[in-house]
Structure 1
Amino acid sequence: MRDPVLDRDSFPSLAEPHRRALKLHCYRMLGSAHEAEDAVQETFARAWHALDGFEGRASLKNWLYRIATNACLDALSRRARQERVLPGQLGPSTSELPPGEPDLDFPWLQPFPDIEVGELADESPGPETRYETRESIRLAFVAAVQQLPPRQRAALILADVIGWPVSEVAALLGGTVASINSVLQRARGTMRSQYGIAPGSHRPPPDEWQRRLVDRYVRAWESADLDGFVGLLKEDASYAMPPWRHWYRGREDIGRFFAEVWRLYGGFRLLPVGANLQPAFGLYALSPREPIWRAHSLQVLSLGADGIDGLTMFMKPLGPTLFDEFGLAPILHA
């Protein structure tokens, strides 16, 4: 079925339904929801100016994906660092409290709001896909993709996530089918080492047991039950807190860190939001000096079959800047 006739009058109504899919694509490429939104705006602007050249040989959706991919590659070429990272990718874990100040100038990977995903997570994968849509939105997956050079990144996302034939990827990125297959082979090798989940592996949505686990997690935080919180972690769980470079591995070190930190606050409240199709919360902290709950951090949980695999907390001052796009207020009054 051909797309309706595309002209300047019809373009806004025909292009707008693709906005969410394009933003998610740009997020995978760029690692930032803010930058992804900018890239989508750039995509629509470029498409508007190029309308006279659209001949309908490709679908409107694929044409927009081509433009968005090029917009992202251009954005990456202007960066000093082309990848965004999480602390665990920068060095070994520690057992010490972090000294000094957080690294605010570093390009940290950012979470993606579930409200921006909508029904995309339920799309049927194309015949060329190697990763399910749900899997390809996870924070750890996007962090691994960020380790790829831009050309490999684009090729892997287009072929293995969106499901484009290699011939179409080659037409977009330039080169032969054989050369793009070589690019994909290198990208897939990096993903195996960085991510560790085999393409095609099925990670089911959270089940009832995991939902109860998340409920217990919230109760532990809001009642300052440190033993209860630590008991929900898997033995080898990880905890990271960008924009700090420090991160922790294992119940003992994580528990020791929070034992020092929790005593500095008068209490916590967690509001559920959802990020990267994982359980997530906006954390508000109560100062012992005033009865105001202030935005503290945005938490993203990774759940295993028998406990919490990992906790990433986007801390102050980075975390509160993310609250607005997750629909959270900066202050809750007691």
Structure 2
Amino acid sequence: MCASTKPANAETRCADNEEDCQVPMDEVLVRRIRRGDRPAAELLILRYQSKAFAIACTLCDGDREAALDCTQEAFVKVLGGIGAFKGKSSFYTWFYRILVNTCLDRRRKRIRWERLFPGRGLRFGGKPSDEPAIEELATTDEADDPQAAVFGSVLSQDLEKALTALPEKQRTVFQLKVFHGLTLSEIARMTGAAQGTVKTHLFRATRALRAALREWGEDERIER
């Protein structure tokens, strides 16, 4: 077994006894993949696919199809460029930086598409979508409280508009921090920004969103 309270020791044991390691470290899997070990590649994908898809969903504004495309594209880039991984950072950091950049690149392309075809009802990729851009914030069942459901839907739309209005870097940091609970240091490693810069982006994004949604905090209907 490779389980240990000290990851460095676990990695050493895996490196010395790769074939016997039941829970190999990422770096061990990377070495196996470089040797053409397909099961190692499948294990690495399985290890990260759920969280990667969840992050992609957020960065793709709730578009599950786009999120799936970005997640798959990120894995293709990682496996195809595995030789470029030098181990200067963790595989976790390297992979998620590729994923975030892939999602942001798609977002920029979608924005350019929407500028070319404003108000045409065409989603980037040519397919219409009825899915909300972000998850509904209301937790009350519509059948039990239709009014609360309506307010929740409107709040969700207002939040979406406020997020869209943020500069890209502020928006990305806010989404990774608030929607996925990542630490500032994790976000810094994923985005390649200094931790102090990430903190500034988060502060400015939070301040802007509070200002944009101020009326909701003052509305007695949601203070019940």
- What is the TM-score with the length of structure 2 in the denominator? 0.56
Deviation, 1:139, is 5.4
1:71-97 deviation line (CA, Å, top 9, x unaligned):
0111122223599xxxxxxxxxxxxxx
Contact 2:184 2:199 in 1 (8 A): yes
What does 1:314-333 align with in structure 2 at a 5 Å threshold?
Answer: none
Contact 1:30 1:76 in 2 (8 A): yes
What is residue 76 of structure 1 aligned with on the other side?
Answer: 107
What is residue 122 of structure 2 aligned with on the other side?
Answer: 105
What is residue 28 of structure 1 aligned with on the other side?
Answer: 58
Aligned residues: 162
Deviation, 1:193, is 3.6
Name the SS for the 1:79 alignment partner: helix
Contact 1:159 1:165 in 2 (8 A): yes
Name the SS for the 1:78 alignment partner: helix
What is residue 22 of structure 2 aligned with on the other side?
Answer: none
What is residue 175 of structure 2 aligned with on the other side?
Answer: 157
- What is the TM-score with the length of structure 1 in the denominator? 0.39
Check 1:50–1:76 CA distance in 2 against 1; reply closer, same or farther (3 A cut): same
Check 1:49–1:147 CA distance in 2 against 1; reply closer, same or farther (3 A cut): same
Q: Which amino acid aligns with 2:51?
A: A
Check 1:25–1:12 CA distance in 2 against 1; reply closer, same or farther (3 A cut): same
Deviation, 1:172, is 3.9
What does 1:1-334 align with in structure 2 at a 5 Å threshold?
Answer: 1=7, 2=11, 3-4=25-26, 5-6=28-29, 7-8=32-33, 9=37, 10-31=40-61, 32-56=63-87, 58-80=89-111, 104-105=121-122, 110-111=131-132, 143=160, 144-194=162-212
Would you tell me which structure has more strand in proportion to its own residues?
A: 1
Q: CA-atom RMSD, angstroms?
A: 3.9
Contact 1:23 1:36 in 2 (8 A): yes
CA distance in 2, matches of 1:140, 1:172: 28
Q: Which amino acid aligns with 2:196?
A: A
Name the SS for the 1:80 alignment partner: helix
CA distance in 2, matches of 1:82, 1:161: 26
What is residue 147 of structure 2 aligned with on the other side?
Answer: none
1:7-34 deviation line (CA, Å, top 9, x unaligned):
3221222222321221111111111111
1:232-285 deviation line (CA, Å, top 9, x unaligned):
xxx97xxxxxxxxxxxxxxxxxxxxxxxxxxxxxxxxxxxxxxxxxxxxxxxxx
Check 1:33–1:193 CA distance in 2 against 1; reply closer, same or farther (3 A cut): farther
